[in-house]
Structure 1
Amino acid sequence: MKFASLVLLPTLAIPLLLPSAALAGDGWESIGTGMAAGASGIAVLSRDDGIVDTLVLRDNKKPAENRAVRVRLNHGQVSKIDPIVWPGELPVDLEAAESVPGKAGEFIALASNGKGFHIELNSRRLKVLRTFQVPKGDPEDNYESFALKKMNGRLLAVWADRGQAARPATLYSAEFSVSKLSFKKPKSIPFRVPYPVADVRHASDIEITADDRVLVSAASDPGDDGPFDSAVYDAGVLRSDGAIALSPVPVKIGDFPGHKIEAMTCVSRSCGSLLYGTDDEAAGGRLRIATRNTPEDQ
């Protein structure tokens, strides 16, 4: 999100994200192999007694390639993968998925060129309700994230250009109307991570927690065969006026070597649990649940 002004807050001590104890091995669950099987966006459809159903988007570009799947995780392990047919004109390079607050079964999907899709999902039937475009940013912008947060009766949208190496990411935020698919004037601010350090995309996805913390994933992508590396940070806080107040130094809350995280979403209401998705290019896509110990989740 780009903000008109930058507000720095003291770095807050927050719990670290730890691999869920219920997961076997390294905790990563395959959702397919090969270049077309990655996860570039993810949203939770339902959660009940250890069963999590999710919508996973894929950043595919060719006509015959799948754009979305419905994935079920049973206590952290993938137990079912169902392809979803995208009707009509196929989107190119989908990079983010976000549930619409207060609208069950409705989501926002965003492509790398800033084209947004308001979609409805009923079981495996997907319907594109309308499309839109995020406000114009820098000509070099390449978007990989989109998040929504209801605050004080207003719906705020947060999205980001991913940045690349020496070029920082740009975080944008603005009030957003789902009924009109329109934005008020966005704020923006540059953001970069200290790690990874090579071939880094400083913002590969964004999530807003229940307590308004702005979580940002970053990934190293040297090419189709890697090696990849990812880290997740608490970058600051989303304020009720729509501005992002960055911490002086982003707080790293997770290291994920060997994988390129391009998707993340809160699983529990408090965001004590997060679900990560990777696009490991030739090695395919994987999901992993991680937990952060908060009083509500204990």
Structure 2
Amino acid sequence: MGVNDWKLTANGITCGISGLALEGGGGSSLIAVRDNKEYKGSDAGSRVARLKVGDGEFKASDGPCEDGSKGTEDVQELSWPDAEKPQDLEAIDSVPGQDGHYVALESKGRVYHFSVEGNTVKVLGNPADLPNVSPGDNYESFALVKHSDGIFAVWATRGQDGTPSKIRTAKAELDASESIKIDSESVKEVSFSAPASSFEEGKGEVRHVSDLKIVNDGAVLLSSAQDPNNNDGPFASVVFNAGKFPDGGDLAISEEPTILGKFTTGESRKIEAVVNLSEGRQIWGTDDEGSGGSIMTYQTS
């Protein structure tokens, strides 16, 4: 797969990418979440998929992306167990120090700890609610980072237009077979708004945080998106180096976040997933609604 160019992964409204996590350390395989939910009595849409992103040509799926369906050798929809399916998964990250383990977040603030065994998801423990969830909150981002004093969860309300996103951090505990536990007493909060110059005025609502991850050096990798609230776009997105979450310190947002990539409504990309690889490489993923989901391997330096 080439660097700095977009590749379609799967086509159709059930095939958007709303979150990405590394499967293993190399970056050649990713676990993606999709924001499918029950609709008109059907709940067949896939929740979790595996994307293989090696150096060769990527073979996209024609969709639809349904639970357990095999699209191509590079796109595999994983099977969710018989337990109640999550509704509107919007973010995912791998669990530090636990290979094959992930935490995914619903838009309403519920988190799921699960492992991936072959092509099947195994839910561990019970779903848990984030601390400090308020009625009407909408969440699209979640990250886990290991510091010297333990694992921290990082998540954010999406924010919209004149309402900033609230980015929160807290200590987290993850037993290999149990629910994630997030310490409500340790929650800290900062605000973020995409600079006004990031998007064209009048082209749709600005969603200040559509995903985030913490890079190895503590940098806050963060995406913002503009959405006219229809399935055809046009969309716009910006990816920022937005601040720092250093080991032993608090998360701090830069007054002038650095733009890593910008995509206007002419390009119509709605980035909802970011993940860091190594040596300045990242993968960004889109949920382009009716146009499915695409990924880009981006070289930042």
TM-score normalised to structure 1 length: 0.85
**Are 1:106 and 2:112 counterparts?**
no
Alpha-carbon deviation of 1:137? 3.3
Change (3 A) 1:76 1:220: farther
Q: Which of 185, 196, 199 is the equivalent residue of 2:199?
A: 196
* Amino acid aligned to 1:237: K
Q: Which runs of 5+ in 1 are unaligned?
A: 1-21, 294-298
Inter-partner Cα distance in structure 1 for 2:80 and 2:163: 34
Structure 1 segment 187-226 matched on structure 2, within 5 A: 187-194=188-195, 195-197=198-200, 198-222=204-228, 223-226=230-233
Alpha-carbon deviation of 1:243? 2.3
**Are 1:141 and 2:119 counterparts?**
no
Alpha-carbon deviation of 1:164? 1.1
- 1:10 alignment partner in structure 2: none
8 A Cα contact 2:112 2:180, kept in partner: no
Structure with the higher fraction of residues in strand conformation: 1
Aligned length: 267
**Are 1:168 and 2:178 counterparts?**
no
8 A Cα contact 1:173 1:242, kept in partner: no
**Are 1:132 and 2:128 counterparts?**
yes
Q: Which of 60, 85, 88 is the equivalent residue of 1:93?
A: 88
- 2:31 alignment partner in structure 1: 55
8 A Cα contact 2:17 2:34, kept in partner: yes
Larger RCO, structures 1/2 (Cα 8 Å, 6+ apart): 1
Alpha-carbon deviation of 1:78? 2.4
- 1:78 alignment partner in structure 2: 58
Inter-partner Cα distance in structure 2 for 1:81 and 1:247: 37
Instruction: Using the TM superposition, name which of 102-111 and 132-141 deviates more.
Output: 132-141
Structure 1 segment 1-298 matched on structure 2, within 5 A: 23=2, 27-46=5-24, 48=26, 52-62=28-38, 63-75=43-55, 77-79=57-59, 80-87=74-81, 88-130=83-125, 131-179=127-175, 181-184=180-183, 185=185, 186-194=187-195, 195-197=198-200, 198-222=204-228, 223-241=230-248, 243-257=250-264, 258-268=268-278, 272-293=280-301
Inter-partner Cα distance in structure 2 for 1:212 and 1:35: 34
* Amino acid aligned to 1:74: G
* Amino acid aligned to 2:47: R
- 1:6 alignment partner in structure 2: none
Inter-partner Cα distance in structure 1 for 2:90 and 2:294: 15
User: How high is the sequence identity, in percent, across the aligned residues?
Assistant: 37
8 A Cα contact 1:29 1:77, kept in partner: no
Alpha-carbon deviation of 1:166? 1.4
Q: Which runs of 5+ in 2 are unaligned?
A: 60-73
